Structure 1
Amino acid sequence: MSVPSLKTRERLSEVRYEIRGELARRARELEAQGRQLIKLNIGNPGAFGFRAPEHLQQAIAGRIAHTDPYTHQQGLPAAREAIAAFHRARGTPNAAPERVFVGNGVSELIDLSLRALLNPGDEVLLPAPDYPLWSAATILNDGKPVYYRCTPEHGFLPDPDEIESLVTPRTRAIVLINPNNPTGATYPRALLERIVAVAARHGLLLMADEIYDGILYDDARFQPLAPLAGELPCLSFGGLSKVHRACGWRVGWAVLSGDPLASGDFHHAMDLLGALRLCANVPGQFAIEQALFGVDTIGALVAPGGRLYETRRALIDACAASEHLHLVAPQGALYGFPAVVGAAAHGFDDHAFALELLEQEDVLVVPGSSFNAPWRHHFRVTLLPEAPVLGEVFARIERVLARRAERAGGEADARETAVA
C-alpha cells in the first residue's frame, strides 16, 4: 500500500531564505566530497574564529546553577531591567522592564511580534532589499509584504515619500533595518524623523531591527529610532548575536516604547504568545547586563586596524580595482552588497552566478535577489573572514566575472556577424 505524501502549508511556497537554502545544501554536498569551501553566506562570527567576550562567558558560568527552572515569559527580571536602563540612557520613552521581551534571538521576536499584530491580509512595509526573515514572518503570519525601495543610487536609503505612497487602509507597520542587512547603510536622523512622521500620520507601528547598532565604520553614527518616535508605539530589537558575537546563545530582546495606553493590547498579545512558548533560553540572559554595561569589545574590531575594519577595507579595495564590480561602501553591519556591472552584467542572473562561483571556485555567497530586491545583479558577502581571505575570495570572483564578460563579448560578436 502506498503512503500518501504529507501536504505542507501552501504559503510556504511564497517564502525564500537562500541564506540557508539550495546553495547552502549544495555546499554541504561539495564538502562531503572533500572540497574546501569559503562560505560567506551567513553572518555567523563563531564560524570565523570569533568568540563571545570572556566577561560574558563568565557571567553565565557564575550563574549556571540558577538556570534550570523556567523564568518569566518576558525574561529574567534583572536582564529586563538592564535592557530598560540601556534604552532609557538612549532616550527611549517609557522604557521599563515590564515592556521588555527577551526571546530566543531576534528572529523569534520578529515572528511573535508580527503574529501579535497581523490579521489575514494586513500589510507590512518592508525595505527592498530586506533581511528575508521579515518577509517570511509576515507571510507566515498571513500578512502581505509591501516593499519600499532602497536603491544603490541613493546609498540604499529609503524615500519617505515613497513609503507614504504605499500606505493603504490595511497597512499596520513600517519596518526599518538600521544598520542595514544586507547593504550596510546607516540611516541619518533627519530621514528617520520623516519616517516617524509618516507612521504618526497613519497610526502605524514602527518596528526597528537594530541588531547591528554597535557595528559602525569610519564616521558613521547610529541613531536609535525609539527616541525620535516619542509617544508613538515603537518596537526596537537588539541582542547578543552580532555586536557580542554570541549567535549560538540565542539571546535577543524587543523593547516596546511610546504611550503605554496606545499599545496596551499589543503588549498583552506579545505577553500571551511569549507565555505559550514558556520562556526564552535562560543561561544566556545572565550575560545581558554585562553586555550592555560592561567592557566594550566591538569598538576595536571596527576601528582602523581592527579585524572587521580591515576586511571591509579589503572589500572596498577589491571592488574599486575591478572593472566588473560596483560597491556602495557599507557604513555598518557585517556585509557588503556589490553589484556586477559592465560586460559581465550582460544577461546576468545572480543565482546562476552564485552557483558557478560555488561549483568552480569553492566560494559560497548569497544572490542579491534572495533579499527581496528587484534587481538580479547583486550578491552579498559577509565581512567576518580575515582580510587576506576576503582578498582571495574576490580574486576568485574576478575570475568568474572575467569569464562571463568574455562570453558576453563573444555572443555580441556573433550577433554582429549574423547581422552582417
Structure 2
Amino acid sequence: MVRISPFKVEEWMDRLETTPGVLNIAETCCESVSVEDLYKLADGDSRPPPLDLTSRKLTYGHIEGSPDTRQKIADLYKDGSSPDLKLDDVLVTQGAIGANFLTLYALIGAGDHVICVHPTYEQLYEVPRSIGADVTLWRLEEKDSYIPNPTHLESLVRDNSKMIIINNPNNPFGTTIPKSVLTQIIDFARPRGLIVMADEVYRPLFHSLPEHEPSPPSILSLGYDKTISTSSMSKAWSLAGIRFGWIATRDEEIMTAIKSARNYTTISVSQLDDQIAGLALSAAVRPNLLRRNIKLAQNNIALLEAFVHKYSEVCSWTKPTAGTTAMIRFERRGQSVKDDEFCLEVLEKTRVLVMPGSTCFGDGEYFEGYMRFGYVSSTNVLKDALGALGHYLENGFAHGG
C-alpha cells in the first residue's frame, strides 16, 4: 500500500479558512476574477467573442486540451532566445497540483533519488517519497537570500539521482532564482542526464525585482531538453476555480511517458475550464490581467512592508521579489513564537488567518517563529487583516503565549 503523508498545508486551509468572519491572508492566489471581469479587462478593439458555455455538447472534448488554448500556453514561453514550443510540447491537467502529481507519478519510481528544494510546496517532495523514491532536501538558507545554492548539488547528488526539483518563484519565501543560478543548475544536470522539473506556478508575477535585475527565463529556455515546467491558471492568473493547469517540456520521451500515465488519472479537462483559460490567455485579455495582478501585488506588498517596518521589534522578513507569499518571523519577549500555536492565537484574537511555517513545511527548528502570509488578496482584506493584527501586537501580544 502506498503511504502518503498528510498534506499539512491543504489540511490547515481546509480546516480553518471557513472560520466565520475570517480575514484570510493565508490564501496564495491573486485576488480572483470572474468571467465578466475578464471581458471587462479585454482591449475594446479586440474584444473576444462570447464563450460557448450553454449550447456546446459536453463531451470529453479535446483529450490533451484544445489546440487553441494549448497554443496560448505555448506562447507564454516565447522569449526570443529559444525555439518556440510546439503544440505537442504542452499537455493540460487539472491544476498545477495535477501537473506536479502526474509528472512525478510518470517519471519517478522506487529506488530513484530526487533532489528537491526546501521549503517548497509539500507535494513536490512527498509524492516522490510515497512512490518509494529517496528524497534529499536542498535547503534554502538565509545567507543565500533563500535562493538555492548550486555549489551544494555536488554533495547532494547520488549515482541513482534522476531529478532535480525547483520552484521558481518560491513558495513560501517569494524569492526569485536568477538566470545565473538556473544556468548553473542546468550545467550540473546536463552531463549527468538529470531531469530538471520546475514548478513555475507563480510565474510571471515578478513584481519587486531590483531595477537592474531582469525577470529570469523559464527553465525551458536554457537549451536543455530534459526540463519540465508545470503551472496553472490559479496563482498569477486569478482563476483557481477553473482547476486548469499544464505540463510543458521539449523532451518527446518525457512527454510520451506523461501522456501514457495521464490516461489513468485524467482523460481530459473540462471543456468549460478550457474555454475560460483560453479567454484569460488571449491577446486581448492576458496583458491586462497580468498588469492588474502585478499592480495589485506591488500595492499590497508595500502595505506588508510598512507593517513589518512598523513592528520591526517583533517581526522580520526577507522581502519577496515575486509571487504571492511571504515568510515573516515573529518574536515575543526575545524568543521566537511557536508558530502553530501563534497562528491559532492570532485567529482567535483577531480573526486573521495566516499559515504556520513548521506545521506546513516541516522541520520546526528551521521554521520556528515563521508565518506564511498571502498578500495578493483583496487590498481591503489585507488592510483589515494587518490592522487587526497590528492592534493585537500593540495591545495583547506581549502577554500571550
Same fold (TM over 0.5): yes
Structure 2 residue runs of 5 or longer lacking an equivalent are none
**Of the candidates 22, 26, 37, which is equivalent to residue 41 of structure 1?**
26
Deviation at 1:156, TM superposition (A): 1.4
- Counterpart-to-counterpart distance in 2, 1:142 and 1:334: 32
- Counterpart-to-counterpart distance in 2, 1:52 and 1:200: 44
* Residue of structure 2 in register with 1:376 after alignment: 368
In the alignment, is the contact (CA less than 8 A) between 1:103 and 1:109 conserved in 2? Answer: yes
| Equivalent runs, 1:268-347 vs 2, <5 Å | 268-276=256-264, 277-290=266-279, 291=281, 293-295=283-285, 296-302=287-293, 306-322=295-311, 323-341=313-331, 343-344=332-333, 346=335
Matched, 1:168 2:158: yes
Task: Count residues with an aligned counterpart.
Answer: 385
Q: CA deviation at 1:236?
A: 1.1
Between 327-336 and 343-352, report the one with greater CA deviation: 343-352
- Residues in 2 aligned to 1:233 and 1:292: alpha-carbon distance in whole angstroms: 28
| 8 Å Cα contact 1:210-1:238 kept in structure 2 | yes
Q: 1:15 aligns with which of 6, 21, 27?
A: 6
Which secondary structure state, in structure 1, belongs to the residue aligned with residue 170 of structure 2?
Answer: coil
Gap regions ≥5 residues in structure 1: 1-8, 409-420
Amino acid at match of 1:200: R
Quick check: 1:215–1:298 contact (8 Å CA) kept in 2?
Answer: no
What are the superposed Cα offsets for residues 212-268 of structure 1, whole Å, 9 maximum, x if unpaired? 22212244543223354313311112322222211111111111125x4xxx1x322
Q: Counterpart of 2:367 in structure 1: which amino acid?
A: W
**Structure 1 match to 2:377:** 385
Tell me what 1:181 maps to. Answer: 171
Residue 271 of structure 1 deviates from its aligned partner by: 0.9
* Identity among equivalent pairs (%): 21
Partner of 1:340, secondary structure, is: strand
Output the CA distance in 2 between the equivalents of 1:172 and 1:51: 45
Alignment of 1:208 onto 2:198: yes
Judged with a 3 Å threshold, the aligned counterparts in structure 2 of structure 1 residues 26 and 99 are, in CA distance, closer, same or farther, namely closer
Q: Distance in 2 between matches of 1:335 and 1:119?
A: 31
1:46-61 paired onto structure 2 within 5 Å: 53-54=38-39, 61=51
Structure 1 range deviating more: 125-134 or 99-108: 125-134
How many Å apart are 1:117 and its aligned residue? 0.8
Deviation string 1:134-180 (CA, Å, 9 cap, x unpaired) is 23332333333321122233221110011332111232211121122
Paired residue for 1:418? none
Q: Would the aligned equivalents of 1:23 and 1:355 in 2 still touch at CA under 8 Å?
A: no
Say which one has the larger Rg.
1
**Does the residue aligned with 2:288 lie in a helix, a strand or coil?**
coil
Matches within 5 A, 1:232-271: 232-258=225-251, 260=252, 264=253, 266-271=254-259
* In structure 2, C-alpha distance between the alignment counterparts of 1:279 and 1:345, rounded to whole Å: 54
- Structure with bigger RCO (C-alpha 8 Å, 6+ apart): 2
CA distance in 1, matches of 2:65, 2:382: 39
For the structure 1 residues 345 and 293, does the alpha-carbon distance in structure 2 shift closer, same or farther, using more than 3 Å as the test?
A: farther
Amino acid at match of 1:275: N
Q: Aligned equivalents of 1:226 and 1:286: distance in 2?
A: 27
| Matches of 1:314 and 1:345, distance apart in 2 | 25
Kindly provide the CA deviation profile for residues 281-320 of structure 1, in whole angstroms up to 9, marking residues without a partner as x: 22222344541533312444355xx333211101001001
Q: 3-state SS of the aligned residue for 1:314?
A: helix
Q: What is the rounded CA distance, in whole Å, between the counterparts of 2:96 and 2:352 in structure 1?
A: 28
Q: Secondary structure at the match of 2:183?
A: helix
Distance 1:43 1:109, change over 3 A: same
- Report the AA paired with residue 232 of structure 1: D
Q: Offset at 1:45? A: 4.2
Partner SS, residue 283 of structure 1: helix
The alignment status of 1:367 with 2:360, answered yes or no, reads: no
Shift of 1:386: 3.9
TM-score by length of 1: 0.81
After TM superposition, give the deviation of residue 383 of structure 1 in Å. Answer: 1.3
- 1:78 to 1:329, Cα distance in 2 relative to 1, 3 A: same
Moved more, 374-383 or 344-353: 344-353
Structure having the larger proportion of residues in helix? 1
Shift in CA distance, 236/355, structure 1 to aligned 2, threshold 3 Å: same
